[in-house]
Structure formats: C-alpha cells, structure tokens
C-alpha cells in the first residue's frame, strides 16, 4: 500500500469532527455513533400545519375552478348544443379521451364533464361517456413514464417497463369499454335516474357566499377565457393536492410489508388503496413501473391491482360532483363506480385466468416490435379523434 492509500484509509477510519477518538484497541458501540438528525417536535408541528394549509388551499382552488368552468361553459358556443365536441354521446367520449391524453391525467377531464352537465351544456348520458373517455386516456401517462424509465435499463428491462404500461392500458379498456354500455343502461333505468343525492342546501349557500363575488367579477369576461382559466386553476389544484397527499412508491410499499401481495384479491385491495390515498389513477398506475422493474411485482400479477385502482380513483370525481351540488353529476359517478366494481369483481372471481391470458397475449403482440408499439401509441390518439369526427357527422 502506498502513502496515498494509507492516508485515505486513515482519513476514512478517523472519527467525525467533534468526536473523541476511542482508546486504541477499543471499539465504538453502534449506538454511540452519530445518527441522522431527528426533527424537533416544534418543527414537526409546523410542517404538519403547513401541509394542512396547502391542502385547504388546494380544496379552495379545486372548488373555485369548478365554479369558474361551470360559469364559462354555460355560454361557450363550442360546448353548446350542436358544437362539434359535444354534439352527441360519441363526441363527448372522444373529448374526454383525447383531453386526458393531453393533460396526462383523467381527473381534470372527469371534473370537466361534470361541470358541463351542471351547466346544462351536455346531457347526463354525454357526461357519462365523457367520464368514461377520461378513464380510457388516463393511463397514457404510465406509458410516458415507462418509456422514460426504460431508457435507464438494458434491452430486456426496457421491454418489461413498456409491457407494464401496455398491460395498464389494455386492462383499463377491457373494463371501461363494456362497462360504458352497462352504465348507460343503469342511467336510463327509471328508479336510478330518479335518485336525488346531494349535500344539504346550506353547503350550496356556503359556496355561493365564498365564490359569489369572484364569479360576479368574471361575468363580463369572454366565456372561453373563463372556462380555460377555470381549467388551468383545476390543473393547479390537482398539482397542489399531489404535493400534499402521501407519496406511494416502491420503497413505501416494500417497507409496509405489502410487496408479497401478488395474489389477485390482495393486489386488487392494494390498487384500490393506493388510488384512494393518492386520489389519482395516474399516480397509482405509474407506481407499477418501478415495482415491476425492480421485481417487487410480476407483470402477470398486476391486472387486479389495475382494476382496483381504476375504481377508487373515482373518489375525487365524486367529491367534484358533490361540490357542484348536482344530483345528475352524482348519478353519473355512482353509475360508473357500480358497473366497474361489479364487472371487475366478476372478472376476477369467475374469469381471471382467461382474462389474464388475454391481456398478456395482447401486450406481447404490442411490444414485440417497435413498429407495433408505435402503431399502438398512435392509435391512442387516432381512435378518439376519429370518434369525434364520425360522431360529428351524425345529426
């Protein structure tokens, strides 16, 4: 060993500054070594109060954004009657889908659908199809994250990451496409259509008291500006909520002892829990990319997780429905929750092996080559645009 190596070794073994060196031949107890600094109780209280303030601010922006969008949509020509984007149920399906692709989240488009229903711009059926479209496009962010994550690994790792995203997209479509028809039937059922669920009238009075002066100020603004401004505030509120709510990643799941949950019902419960806590299916499904990449979960076992996440992610949408004080909006979300829950649980209970094989076969075909993956990705945009175009021809 040369002098340089000896000096480095001595430096590595020397005690930290401010710590007395132990007598020669005596070892320092592990608990005597300096550990990570702990936060003072006062700092913890301040941090929690700051988190609470941010959460209240996020809710204030969230509800305010809904009121702005409702006000703007009420007189926005493109969202009225014969407007191309809201001409019929097909148009709103495509609108919700393509909108979720561009904002990389389904929640803003789902909330937009409910505000349009409350504003009278679209019907209850159209609101339901727009909500369904927002769910179909919400999982696209998983593919974006998977591609970025895949660039860090080798060829085999890249395919595994992208495969996870494709499974999420295919599973979402497998559930929400047939459930769209069941949901439409449920909304058309007279006893269900007569449900009148909303917060007490005092809640609406509080909203009018808080946001009334703001809405009065923007009445003279262009409708498009008010609506787009409301959408921007809505995106900001979701971003702020994301920073306040607990973060769920592969390390959190591993430390919590849930990494062994690879059976269908525990995975279904886990997906439901993560989406409910984070209030975002985008976050809940994106977690799957590193989980699979680090082999905490297997790709063939994540289908129940995706199904569960796709149900409880509607929690924030239900909150939006109540915030709008709209029984029609509540019925839309309730119908979506009922049909997706029943359909998903039937698939898991009775047809799980076949469902898993079908999804696995589809994803293998998609990720088999780059042209196929490119075609699949392009289809995510082409299909909703085509639906809007074809639906626009129907009068």
Per residue in 227-254, pLDDT tens? Answer: 888 888 888 887 777 676 655 555 555 5
Residue 329 has pLDDT above 90, yes or no: yes
Tokens describing residue 332: 């839309």
Q: Going by C-beta distance under 8 Å and a sequence separation of 6 or more, which residues neighbour residue 197?
A: 327, 330, 331, 334
pTM score:
0.75
159-183 burial, b for 16+ CB within 10 Å, e for fewer? bbbbbbbbbbbbbbbbbbeebbebb
If you average pLDDT over residues 88-93, what whole number do you get?
A: 92
Residue 202 has pLDDT above 80, yes or no: no
Collapsed DSSP state (helix, strand, coil) of residue 180: helix
Residue 20 has pLDDT above 50, yes or no: no
> In the prediction, which pLDDT does 90 show?
92
pLDDT band at 192 (very low <50, low <70, confident <90, very high): very high
**How much of the chain, in percent, has pLDDT values that exceed 70?**
77
Residue 153 has pLDDT above 80, yes or no: no
> In the prediction, which pLDDT does 80 show?
58
Dihedral of CA 230/236/240/242: which sign?
positive
If you average pLDDT over residues 39-48, what whole number do you get?
A: 76
Burial degree of 266 (CB within 10 A; 0-12, 13-18, 19+) = middle
> In the prediction, which pLDDT does 280 show?
74
Residue 257 has pLDDT above 60, yes or no: no
What are the boundaries of each domain within the chain? 52-392
Tokens describing residue 68: 């702005």
**How much of the chain, in percent, has pLDDT values that exceed 90?**
35
Residue 19 has pLDDT above 70, yes or no: no
Higher pLDDT, 54 or 34: 54
If you average pLDDT over residues 321-326, what whole number do you get?
A: 88
Each residue's pLDDT tens digit, 334-367: 999 999 999 999 999 999 999 999 999 999 999 9
If you average pLDDT over residues 73-87, what whole number do you get?
A: 66
């Amino acid at each position: 060993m040369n002098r340089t190596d000896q000096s480095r070794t001595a430096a590595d073994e020397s005690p930290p500054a401010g710590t007395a060196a132990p007598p020669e031949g005596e070892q320092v107890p592990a608990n005597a070594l300096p550990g990570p600094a702990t936060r003072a109780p006062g700092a913890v209280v301040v941090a929690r109060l700051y988190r609470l303030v941010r959460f209240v601010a996020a809710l204030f922006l969230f509800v305010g954004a809904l009121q702005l969008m409702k006000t703007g949509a009420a007189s926005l020509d493109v969202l009225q009657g014969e407007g191309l984007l809201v001409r019929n149920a097909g148009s709103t399906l495509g609108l919700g889908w393509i909108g979720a692709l561009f904002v990389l989240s389904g929640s803003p488009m789902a909330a937009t659908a409910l505000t349009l229903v409350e504003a009278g711009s679209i019907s209850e059926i159209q609101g339901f199809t727009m909500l369904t479209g927002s769910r179909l496009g919400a999982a696209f962010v998983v593919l974006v994250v998977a591609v970025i994550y895949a660039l860090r690994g080798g060829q085999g790792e890249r395919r595994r990451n992208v495969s996870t995203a494709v499974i999420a997209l295919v599973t979402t479509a497998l559930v929400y496409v047939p459930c769209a028809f069941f949901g439409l039937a449920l909304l058309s059922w007279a006893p269900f259509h007569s449900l009148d669920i909303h917060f007490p009238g005092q809640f609406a009075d509080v909203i009018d008291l808080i946001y009334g002066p703001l809405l009065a100020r923007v009445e003279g603004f262009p409708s498009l500006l008010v609506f787009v401004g409301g959408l921007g505030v809505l995106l900001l509120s979701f971003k702020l909520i994301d920073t306040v709510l607990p973060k769920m990643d592969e390390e959190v799941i591993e430390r919590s002892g849930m990494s062994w949950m690879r059976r269908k019902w525990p995975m279904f419960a886990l997906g439901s829990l993560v989406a409910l806590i984070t209030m975002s299916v985008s976050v809940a499904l994106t977690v799957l990319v590193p989980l699979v990449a680090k082999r905490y979960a297997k790709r063939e076992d994540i289908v129940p997780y995706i199904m569960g996440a796709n149900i409880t992610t509607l929690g924030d949408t239900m909150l939006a429905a109540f915030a709008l004080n709209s029984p029609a909006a509540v019925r839309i979300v309730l119908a979506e929750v009922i049909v997706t829950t029943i359909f998903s649980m039937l698939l898991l209970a009775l047809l799980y092996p076949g469902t898993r094989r079908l999804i696995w076969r589809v994803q293998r075909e998609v990720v088999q080559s780059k042209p196929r993956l490119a075609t699949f990705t392009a289809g995510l945009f082409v299909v909703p645009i085509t639906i809007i175009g074809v639906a626009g021809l129907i009068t």
